Structure 1
Amino acid sequence: MRTTLDFSPLFRSGIGFDRVFDVLETASRVQPMDNWPPYDIIRVGEDAYRIVMAVAGFDRDELTLTDRPNLLVVSGAKRESEPDPDCLYLHKGIAERTFERRFELADHVKVANASLEKGLLTIDLQREIPEALKPRRIEIQGQGAGAAKAHAQIQAPKAA
């Protein structure tokens, strides 16, 4: 039994959280159990992640990575090739089917690089927070020099 979550009360009081609600809604929907190709998601640092996907039998030109805002799409499609007339498969266990795998990315997470080696597609991701959004230190002014200077400017000169 699956429980459906109603996010409408959150829409009444939350402003600017549309993306979070969309991600929660997408995650709560029943999706077909397609676990091919297998993959790992690894955290390799405070702001660095890695996706390793097993894509045995695929060449670089048969794989496509598309980096959209907050979404990474990895897809693969084998090229059509002429079957060898002298070759007859008795068992074919290596999957060569087309696939598309989507990964929701947090804000400011970008693809740093991707490589294919020994049948493993490795995608490195990096969170790059803009300087304007990073925490900054604010100097606290003392009451000493600044207050005395302002007080001196207010006083009128003494009459002799």
Structure 2
Amino acid sequence: MPVVLREITDSNRDAVLDLRVGPGQERFVSSVRGSLKEAAAHPHAKPWFRAVYAAGEPVGFVMLSWDVEPQPPEINGPWFLWKLLVDERHQGRGYGLAIVRHVADLVTAEGATELLTSYVPQDGGPAGFYERLGFVPTGELDPDGEVLMRLALPWTPPGRPPV
């Protein structure tokens, strides 16, 4: 499922802010509005965010710490997948994998050797999703108790033949 990452502008802002996760998923990822407020409150984390489009329609949102100087435990990096949201109407279609694939390709081109992320360790959370993609726990928790995970780069995602 191909995706395109686009900057959030005045022309698409409302549609992107309307993206929502499914019922009960709010405890695992903040809304787009909340994520943008978090980005504004933490400029030192070098937030890089984009709307995710498929077939010309916004289907998700992604935010990273982009080539940041790590300052554990507050700032992880240099490449940290900070937010990944797929709208509830578009879940189960492969967009999550496509977004991670796209992000991994982007940061690999910038010289990244790993991509970090974290998840809330509760039932119904994204742990299995990240594990299926090849992320492995680092053995560390962030200050909020989220499990930190690492994906080695370059990466061959599930369903993509090695180059």
TM-score, length-scaled by structure 2: 0.25
TM-score, length-scaled by structure 1: 0.26
**Structure number with bigger Rg:** 1
Identify the structure with the greater helix proportion.
2
